[in-house]
Structure 1
Amino acid sequence: MSSGKSESSPVTVHVLDTVSGKPAQGITVEISDVSKNTMGIEKTNENGRCDTILEKLIQNRPAKGAYKARFYTEEYWSKKYTIPFHPFVDVWFSILNTKEHYHIPLLITPASYTTYRGS
């Protein structure tokens, strides 16, 4: 049986609420290309992850190029009775090797965010 690694979405995300120290469940994440074509949209699960956001592209992997992951954080913070400074967070990333997996962790507070290339 396969480990699932090669059969998973070519792009995954993980959002952590650094105020509570817990995963940020229920954040809508949208992946689009530079032409603003939506490639996938999904809400973070109970672990703060979107593991299947681009699953439909497994056989036809995304082309090399720039992509945007938009995290709709305002709805998340409003449920916590907080007005965020950033209504959404856009993370631009490049797919340089179409055979690689790209993981985008995002750490959020109502006033800041941090991201990096994960593994």
Structure 2
Amino acid sequence: MNLTLWIAAGLLATVALTGGISKTFVPVAKLAAAPGGGWTGDNGAAFVRSLGAVELLAAVGLVLPAAVGVAPVLVPVTAVCWVLLMVGAMITHGRRGERGFVVLNLVYLVLAAVIAWGRFGIAPFGG
């Protein structure tokens, strides 16, 4: 189970890193033109950049604390925060009628919930 949770955290961290880099460094107009990125045109650049920074922090928080053995409890805490972020993403895409992205965000939400459940419960670090 430990290996499965590491793989799940790595996959989700990759998703967070990719989203974080794009939201932080790609111009909002270019993001708005991309599939599923229309919501960025409806929000300020500062908001989009802030979400990007949150996603970058999530990418770090899903892997680094356990990898270096410093405060590994931050891994499931980060996963819970990701669940909340995905709820917001699902609401945003749902309001825009982007059902495919709602499903994708649901997959990410479930993956994060499994990580949180696993690391808080059945396979905690150091347990």
TM (normalized to structure 1)?
Answer: 0.27
* Structure with the larger strand share: 1
The structure number with the bigger radius of gyration is 2
* Structure with the larger helix share: 2
TM (normalized to structure 2)?
Answer: 0.26
